[in-house]
Chain A
């Protein structure tokens, strides 16, 4: 069983209820406590704790009338420092807040991004999936502790994994604490589209919209068929993903041709015939022309071909194996500030065309 400590400035009457809600499955036990003064606060994190759930805001006084004279960010930083100095074991730290628009605020707090493993809003704590997330993070830390890439990535061999990614991973597990390896996995593998692709991109590459089929029998059947394509390594519940290369290999093996050569329509027909499913092709996104869907719009998640994608301004490629991020035309028209300087001309031409048709 995984043990989490939940630290909040709210009264225990409130937080114990939340902790109880999170402890309904046998895999997880959450204990709620209130903040204390700095030294006492730190002492509460004993060896039995597998993870921390911290409330961002510590502005209220605790039951003894003590107000925290530190932030959770500083506290998390101290925990990470202690781990580096081998004073305590490496554990995942999750930050949560009831603050309205907390995520927006957090997105600007860049220094904190390397400290926390997951960001939750308070209402997320009522969702069952959060239990799975907390357990997954703690187990992921254990997988990294093995220092073996096979167990971290859930693979038998490294034949289809980008060797540059793997080389860095192997170096990091040797010398860095677990939370640093976890951050590397989040940023280089699990969050961006590249070596791995998420459910939306997988569905787009096969010609349909994940949103339309995520609860369907057909999706379940397809997932079963693609069992060997699925990513089963560390943090695979928080970040459900698929190996991009393995999907292409599966398609090639099954249909004797390359996935990229088929239009969405051709892929859907081929897939339905083989699996006896009823997937329907995702309609072209507004103003798009190509049916060679390969990615999704980062905002709306509609499948698009890369040629119809508008490059995002924030498309920072930290690692060479990561691809660009795109939005669809409609989102680009709605959010012109998001688009890359390379795309300004393309969008202004589209705008002019639309204006012409409007005034005709």
Chain B
């Protein structure tokens, strides 16, 4: 399935079955090119999220409006007759106006993380080819209280395109009971499976080739993905 068609189908499924919980699905249907897309100006917004019980600071969830914002870009390149991942980035912000239990004050709170896939990093630190990092530009200057924010670590993480990111958000920010009916739909499972095959499979295979010579390592050396797999 082409990039544009997969994103369009996911947009339609969200419109049909997840409309109460998501806005801006039109971004999945506009400006999608053969070799990539950029959903950055207008994020996909997930509402009515469920953040569980262990939340700090102590906020009154009934009076708070937390939502998840997703931005994503992806670029493919054609290498000897097949499309491979050139670069990818996604930003997930959990944010919203929250009512503090302690003093009933209203405060803008935000948590964020991003996933990057970069072919050639020239950073002075070790950069797993695909990594997850806490924080983003959006929270650079925000009030940290007693929390410490540093650049490290970069967790090795499989790459996620916007479809895998949507699936990730739905599985993490909604209860099983809330999402199971939707995520069980064959059309939904098929789109997610296709993205997993495109982006997770070559990543896992490249890593697994460290232990299995029979697997053709197509994209990168295992060390480039996980530091503890020395060359």
Contact = CB atoms under 8 A, between A and B. Distances in A.
B184 A260 contact: yes
Contact of A260 (B5, B8, B189): B189
A345 B2 contact: yes
Nearest to B4: A342
Nearest to A322: B16
A307 interface: yes
B47 interface: no
A162 B188 CA distance: 19
Contacts of A252: 181
B2 A342 contact: yes
B15 A321 contact: yes
Contacts of A322: 16
A252 B5 CA distance: 30
B186 A323 contact: no
Contacts of B8: 342
A294 B187 contact: yes
Contacts of B186: 260, 290, 292, 294, 305-307
B16 A323 contact: yes
A290 to B, nearest CB: 7
A307 B187 contact: yes
Nearest to B13: A323
Contacts of A164: 19
Contacts of A175: none
B185 interface: yes
B9 interface: yes
A343 to B, nearest CB: 8
B5 A311 contact: yes
B12 interface: yes
B190 interface: yes
Interface in B1-35: 1-2, 4-5, 8-9, 12, 15-16, 19-20
A65 interface: no
A159 to B, nearest CB: 13
Contacts of B187: 294, 306-307
A224 B139 CA distance: 58
B63 interface: no
Contacts of B190: 290, 292, 305-307
A25 interface: no
A132 interface: no
Q: Which of B9, B15, B187, B190 has the most C-beta atoms of chain A within 10 angstroms of its own C-beta?
A: B187
Q: Which of A162, A248, A342 has the most C-beta atoms of chain B within 10 angstroms of its own C-beta?
A: A342
B101 interface: no
B202 to A, nearest CB: 21
B107 interface: no
Given A306-B190, A311-B5, 12 more contacts: A164-B19, A248-B181, A258-B184, A294-B185, A305-B186, A306-B187, A307-B190, A320-B15, A320-B16, A324-B12, A342-B8, A343-B5
Nearest to B180: A258
Interface residues of B, number: 20
Contacts of A343: 5
A294 B189 CA distance: 12
A351 interface: no
Interface in A249-288: 252, 258-261
20 contacts: A252-B181, A258-B180, A260-B184, A260-B185, A290-B186, A292-B189, A294-B186, A305-B190, A307-B186, A311-B5, A317-B12, A320-B16, A320-B19, A321-B15, A321-B16, A321-B19, A322-B16, A323-B12, A323-B16, A343-B5
B124 to A, nearest CB: 43
B9 A324 contact: yes
Contacts of B12: 317, 323-324
A261 B188 CA distance: 11
Interface string B106-128: 00000000000000000000000
A342 B5 contact: yes
A324 B184 CA distance: 18
Contacts of A163: 20
B229 to A, nearest CB: 35
B30 to A, nearest CB: 14
Contacts of A248: 181
A208 to B, nearest CB: 16
Nearest to B9: A324
Contacts of A194: 16
Contacts of A261: 184
B20 to A, nearest CB: 8
B181 A258 contact: yes
Q: Which of B9, B186, B187, B188 has the most C-beta atoms of chain A within 10 angstroms of its own C-beta?
A: B186
A353 B189 CA distance: 26
A194 B187 CA distance: 14
A273 B194 CA distance: 33
A323 B9 CA distance: 9
